Amino acid sequence: GDNGAGGAIAQRGQNPLGQQLVLQDGRKYRFYLKGANAAIPGDVQQSAVIITTDQSMACAAGAIGDRIITYTHGAATTVINFFAEGYAIISLDPGQGQTFKIASHLAIGSGTAGSIVNLAPGNALQVALTTTSDLSLLAHPYASNIIMAATIDGMPVGIAVVATPAASFGWLQTRGVCGVRGAASNTIGSPAVMLLTGGTAGAVAPASAATQPQVGFVQMVEGTGEASGIFLTIDG
Per-residue pLDDT of the chain (236 residues; tens, 9 = 90+): 444 455 788 888 899 999 999 999 999 999 999 999 999 999 999 999 999 999 999 999 999 999 999 999 999 999 999 999 999 999 999 999 999 999 999 999 999 999 999 999 999 999 999 999 999 999 999 999 999 998 889 999 999 999 999 999 999 999 999 999 987 778 999 999 998 888 899 999 988 888 899 999 999 999 888 999 999 999 98
| Same structural domain, 102 and 68 | yes
Q: Which of 92, 117, 138 is the last residue of a domain?
A: 138
Same domain, 74 and 92: yes
What is the model's pTM? 0.91
Residues 174 and 229 in one domain: yes
Which residue in 210, 193, 158, 140 sits closest to 46, CA to CA? 158
Which letter, b or e, does each residue of 204-215 get, where b requires 16 or more Cβ atoms within 10 Å of its Cβ? bbbbeeeebbbb
SS (H, E, C) 80-109: CCCCCCCEEEEEECCCCCCEEEEEECCCEC
Residues 79 and 120 in one domain: yes
Q: Domain count of the chain? A: 2
Residue 9 lies in a domain: no
Q: What's the rounded Cα separation, in Å, for the pair 51 and 46?
A: 15
Q: State which of 138, 159, 174 marks the end of a domain.
A: 138
Which residues span the domain enclosing 198?
20-47+143-233
Shared domain check, 64 and 42: no
